[in-house]
Amino acid sequence: MNLDSETKAVELPEDHGDELRLWLRLLTCTTLIEGTVRSRLRERFDVTLPRFDLMAQLDRAPEGMTLSDVSKRMMVSNGNVTGLVERLVESGHLDRRTSVSDRRVQVIRLTKVGRAEFRRMAAEHETWIADIFSDLTPKDVRELMRLLAKAKGSAQKAASRRAL
Amino acid sequence: MNLDSETKAVELPEDHGDELRLWLRLLTCTTLIEGTVRSRLRERFDVTLPRFDLMAQLDRAPEGMTLSDVSKRMMVSNGNVTGLVERLVESGHLDRRTSVSDRRVQVIRLTKVGRAEFRRMAAEHETWIADIFSDLTPKDVRELMRLLAKAKGSAQKAASRRAL
DNA sequence: GCCAATTGCTTGAAGCCTAAAGAAATTGAA
DNA sequence: TTCAATTTCTTTAGGCTTCAAGCAATTGGC
C-alpha cells in the first residue's frame, strides 16, 4: 500500500490548470461570437440580443409559452423575463394573455408582425453564424457538438450537486 | 461544367443548421457554467463575477494595467470598466493613479488587500471549475481546447471581415 | 509652433440582469 | 372546508453593459 499517494490526494493541491484554461477559452469564444451577433443585430435590425433570443423561443412554440417556461429555457430570472416581455408587447411583437385555467399564468406568443420580423432576422442570423464558424470542417463541428454535450452534462451534474 | 451546382450556390439557401446548433450549444454551456460560478462567488465571497474577472486580469499584471488594456482583455466597453473600477477602488481592492507620462491614462493595480482576497477566491474558484468539468477526460479537455482555439480563430476572422 | 486627428477616459440614457421580497392564485392535506 | 405551502408573476434595489457624445491630453503633419 502506498501511503504517499493517499496523503497526496488529501494534502497537495491537484493541478486544475487545464480545466481553468478550458473554461477561459470557452468564455472567450462565446463572448467574441456574442459580441459579433449583438452588433450585427443592432446595425441591421435595431434589435437587442435578448429580444431576439426571446422571439426565437416563441417562434418554436406556436401555442405560446408561459413566462416560467421562457425563464427556464433562456436560463434567466423571472423578473428579467417580465421586463423583456413588457417591452416586446409594447413594441407590438408579442401578444400576452392571462391563462383561463390558472389566472397566475401569463401566456405569450409572437404577433403576426413579430413572427414575420423574427423570420426575416433569423434567416440572416443563420448566415452570420455559418460565416463565424466557416473555418471549421463538418467533422470539427460534429466533434465540438459531441464534446460540448458532454461538458454540458458534466456542468449540469455539478450544478445539481451544488444545489443540495 | 456543371451549371446546376453554380445555380444552386446562388439561388438555393445552404444548410447552416449544424453551425446554428453548435452556437446554441456553446452558448448554453457557457451560460450554465457562468451561472454556477456567479452564484458560488456570491454565496462564498459576496463578490460579483465581473469584479472577480477584473481582479483576475490585474493579478496577472503586477505592474498594473490601463483601463484600455482591461477593456480589451475583458472584451467589454470602456464605460463599463470605468464603473467597475470605481466600485472596486471604493471598496479598497484597487489602487488607481494617473500615469505620469500621459495624463489621460489611469493605471490600476490590486491593493494588498485586493490581491490577498483574490488569491483566496481564485484557489477555490479553480476547484469549482475542475468539478464542473469532472466528467471530461484529459483527452476530451485537450480536444476541446484545440477545437475551441480553431473556432476562436474563425470567429475573429469573421469579426475582422465585418469590421471593414 | 500650430492645429487637426487620434487616443484614453468619463458621462448619460437606455436597457439587461439578479436576488430578494411580496402579491395573487392554486393546491393539497387535515 | 380550511388554511398552510407552493407556484407564478411582479416589483424593487442595486449592479452590469452598451452606445454615443463629449472632454482632455497627446501626436503628427505642416
| pLDDT computed for residue B6 by the predictor | 45
**pLDDT for res A16:** 77
CB B27 within 8 A of CB A49: no
Using N-to-C axis directions, what is the helix angle for B17-45 and A17-45, rounded to 10°?
120
Q: Gap from B36 CA to D3 C1', in Å? A: 37
Report pLDDT for B163. 61
Task: Specify which residues A96 forms β-bridges with.
Answer: A108
Q: Which of A's residues 48-77 have CB atoms within 7 A of nucleic strand D? A: 66-68, 71
Condensed to tens digits (0 to 9), the pLDDT of residues B12-49 reads 567 778 999 999 999 999 999 999 999 999 999 999 99
Q: Specify whether the CB–CB gap between A110 and A117 falls below 8 A.
A: no
Question: B123–A40: do the CB atoms touch at under 8 Å?
Answer: no
List strands edge to edge, sheet with B94-98: B65-66, B106-110, B94-98
Does residue A3 have a pLDDT over 70?
Answer: no
Q: What is the pLDDT of residue B70?
A: 97
Residue B107 to residues A17, B50, B88, B91, B110, Cα–Cα distance (Å): 29, 18, 14, 17, 11
List Cβ neighbours of A85 (8 Å cut-off, separation of 6 or more): A54, A67, A70, A94, A96, A106, A108
Q: Tell whether A4 is within 8 A of chain B (Cβ).
A: no
Of A71-75, A143-147, B51-55, B159-163, which range is least confident?
B159-163
Look at residue B4 in the predicted model and tell me its pLDDT.
Answer: 46
More confident residue, B50 or B8: B50
Q: Which domains does chain B have, with CATH numbers?
A: 36-133 (1.10.10.10)
pLDDT at position A163 over 70: no
Strand ranges in A13-162 using DSSP code E only, listed in sequence order: 65-66, 94-98, 106-110
> B96-123: per-residue pLDDT in tens?
999 999 999 999 999 999 999 999 999 9
Q: What is the pLDDT of residue B15?
A: 77
pLDDT digits (tens, 9 = 90+) for A50-72: 999 999 999 999 999 999 999 99
Q: Please tell me the predicted confidence (pLDDT) of residue B27.
A: 97
User: Which grid cell is A119?
Assistant: 423570420
CA–C1' A161–D6 (A): 23
Q: Give the residue with minimal CA–C1' separation from D26.
A: B102
**B3 or A148, which is more confident?**
A148
Q: Mean pLDDT of all residues in chain B?
A: 91
Chain B residues touching A145 at Cβ < 8 A: 18, 21-22, 25
Q: How sure is the predictor about B9, in pLDDT bands with cuts at 50, 70 and 90?
A: very low
Q: Which nucleotides of D are covered by protein (CB under 7 A)?
A: 7-13, 15-21, 24-27
| C-alpha radius of gyration, chain B, whole number | 21
Q: What pLDDT is stored for residue B17 in this prediction? A: 84
Q: What confidence score (pLDDT) does residue A162 get?
A: 67
When pLDDT is averaged across residues B139-159 and rounded to a whole number, the result is: 95
Q: Which of B16, B21, B154 shows the shortest C-beta gap to A145?
A: B21
Average pLDDT over residues A79-99: 96
